[in-house]
Amino acid sequence: MSLIFSAKRFFTLIAAMVILTPTYAFHPGEPIPEEEFEVGEMIMHHISDAHEWHLWGGHHNSVSVYLPIILVDGGLKTFSSKHFYHGEAVHTMDTAKNEHAEYVLGVGPATGYAMFEEEIYKLDESGKLEIKDGAVVDANSPLDFSITKNVLSLFMGAILILLILSNVARFYKKNGPVAPKGLAKYLEVLIVMVRDDIAKANIGHKYNKYVPYLLTIFFFIFINNLLGLVPFLPGGANLTGNITVTLFLAVATLVVTLFSGNRNYWGHIFAMPGVPWPVLIILIPIELVGIFTKPFALMVRLFANMTAGHIIVLALISIIFINQSEVWGLLSVPMALFISVLELLVAFLQAFLFAMLSALFIGAAVEEAHH
């Protein structure tokens, strides 16, 4: 109960920081310059992490929630990311094209910081940031602990998982093994599936020890996959399409696997029975590389599948704006809707596959020797 209370209080604090952060809205009296629609830029903007939560509108009439900037640089510095967006234009010579290029540079509130391509840098002594060939030159970066869109989505998903599974746990603790009601009625089939079809089937008689971990990664991936598809969250974060998040999940599985490895597991890596020692010189490095390629495959599979679906949907919708005709919507919208429905299946399958392969790797590590 205290865990739920602490979770609610933490979530309330994060929500208050977001709500109290000023938002930007376009004023109708301002002129809107015509801009060419850039498909690649739009897609990357939607699937990439950011220091704002974009709701709707274009560059000049956008409405966003600006998230807190938290920097450690000779002390703690906090301010709104609003200061970094819709910043000043910087003209510089692009030596690759031998022509002048323009970059939008967000400058902080007299803090000596600037943001370029969602990265925060320290300004030099003259208050400038040197940009060459589309990249920042010789600039230091402070330690950035800001609440970005993906971080906020991570908090939302984690709190949601805690509240949902705590509710189910309380039901069974109070009523015992009875016919489930409420949330337990819907989640019991998933919990039993992870226990029997994933943990027990791939790990064996030691499966009970690893069921909590497998349940955690399954529901974390599944719920965050769904949150990335929710239509009433404009600009929703693609958390599981972030390579850093999938890397952490893969490393977690790697650590559990390595610490669970028994004598038989390590023996088949460094001293495979019945194999001549000259052959071991070749096989041992291959086996060691295999230890890391397995979680790498987990990381890439989840990242690529969840990112690809978002890119396809955005590309299909972009057809309307590229051709500047509503008629194309009769083709692109049904196709985008079909891919979105397919993404619901992918959201479940990717959570299932990640948990199943994790159980498979753990099962190989704890398997006893066969005589």
Could you report the per-residue pLDDT of 236-285, keeping only the tens digit for each?
678 888 899 999 999 999 999 999 988 888 887 887 777 787 877 888 88
Q: What is the mean pLDDT of residues 127-150?
A: 81
**Tokens at 368, concatenated:** 């006893």
pLDDT per residue over 309-364, tens digit each?
A: 888 888 888 887 777 777 777 888 888 888 888 888 999 999 999 999 999 999 98
pLDDT score of 79 more than 90? no
pLDDT score of 217 more than 90? yes
Among the ranges given (145-149, 178-182, 321-325), the one the predictor scored with the smallest mean pLDDT: 321-325
Instruction: Tell me the C-alpha distance between 105 and 20, whole Å.
Output: 24
- Provide the percentage of residues in the chain whose pLDDT is more than 70: 77
In the block, tokens 């391509």 appear at 117
pTM of the model: 0.79
Q: What is the mean pLDDT of residues 204-213?
A: 91
pLDDT per residue over 25-65, tens digit each?
A: 333 333 444 556 676 666 776 778 888 887 776 656 677 78
Residue/partner pairs of 88-92 with CB below 8 Å, 24 or more apart: 90/129, 90/131, 92/131, 92/132
Decide if 332 contacts 320 (C-beta within 8 A): yes
